Structure 1
């Protein structure tokens, strides 16, 4: 039996490559999201620690300037937290965009793989029919040959 060669195999390979690339992009986006979330968690932890320090300072006799320094630093951390939350939102949007892109690439690949499967099935049917015709012809020749 002859080997099946799909005419559009290069397109199938391209679609598979695009899907793999989309998977890498999604993996990268998810990794970046995790990094942003970890950084945000660190900032929230730092804010909590500085709030505790401020609470302790308010219970002790501490100079007003040192309390003001802690408050200024807390305001700075708050601004960093707000900025990081924005970064996290943006990273989540990038993950969703990458997921959507991957879904599209997967569907493209699936369409082309199904087309290849259908072409292979048609090829098998044609090949089997051709072989059956050859076998039928051989049987006919063998049957007619002794009758001569």
Structure 2
């Protein structure tokens, strides 16, 4: 029996590797986004802590130097939060680009798999046609043998 050999198997394996690379890039981008969002959350928590401490100091103790330091700290944190929001948005864009590339790689791989399936179906059809031809020849031979014997 003949063995199926897909002529473009090397292309299919390249598509698998490209898809795997795209998955890794996507995972790295997603991880980076998660880290950036965690940093942003930490900055918000720190800012809220400073704001609470500032309001406590204003209500309880009138230490102007400490109040000024806390106000400056809140302003600095607001700036850092804006910068971190930019970093988060950049990371989101990178994740989206990686997702698009991953989808493209998956589509290309699936296309190659469909081509391989079609080639295999064609191979099976040719093999079946060959077997039918052999059976027909055998039947024809047997028929001639029996008609000659009579």
Where does the alignment leave 5 or more consecutive residues of structure 1 unmatched? none
The equivalent of 1:3 in structure 2 is 3
**1:56 to 2:56 alignment:** yes
Q: How far apart, CA to CA, are the structure 1 residues paired with 2:61 and 2:76?
A: 24
TM-fit CA distance, 1:61:
2.4
Structure 2 length as normaliser, TM-score? 0.94
Structure 2: distance between partners of 1:72 and 1:19: 49
Flag as ranges the 4+ runs of structure 1 deviating above 3 A. Answer: none
Q: Which residue does the alignment assign to 1:144?
A: 144
Give 1:37's aligned residue: 37
Q: Return 58-67 or 33-42, whichever deviates more.
A: 58-67
For each residue in 1:55-92, what CA deviation from the matched residue of structure 2 results, as whole angstroms up to 9, or x when unmatched?
Answer: 00001223211111111111111111111101000000
Displacement of 1:24 in angstroms is 1.2
Q: Deviations over 1:37-59 (max 9, x none)?
A: 11101110110011000000001
Corresponding residue of 1:84 = 84
Of the structure 1 ranges 92-101 and 137-146, higher mean CA displacement relative to structure 2 is found in 137-146
Q: Distance in 2 between matches of 1:121 and 1:16?
A: 22
Superposed displacement of residue 142, structure 1: 1.6
- Structure 2 counterpart SS, 1:62: coil
Say what the alpha-carbon RMSD is for the aligned residues.
Answer: 1.0
| Structure 2 unmatched runs, 5+ | none
Q: Quick one: distance in 1 between partners of 2:3 and 2:44?
A: 63
Shift of 1:114: 1.1
Rounded to whole Å, the distance in 2 between the matches of 1:3 and 1:20 is: 29
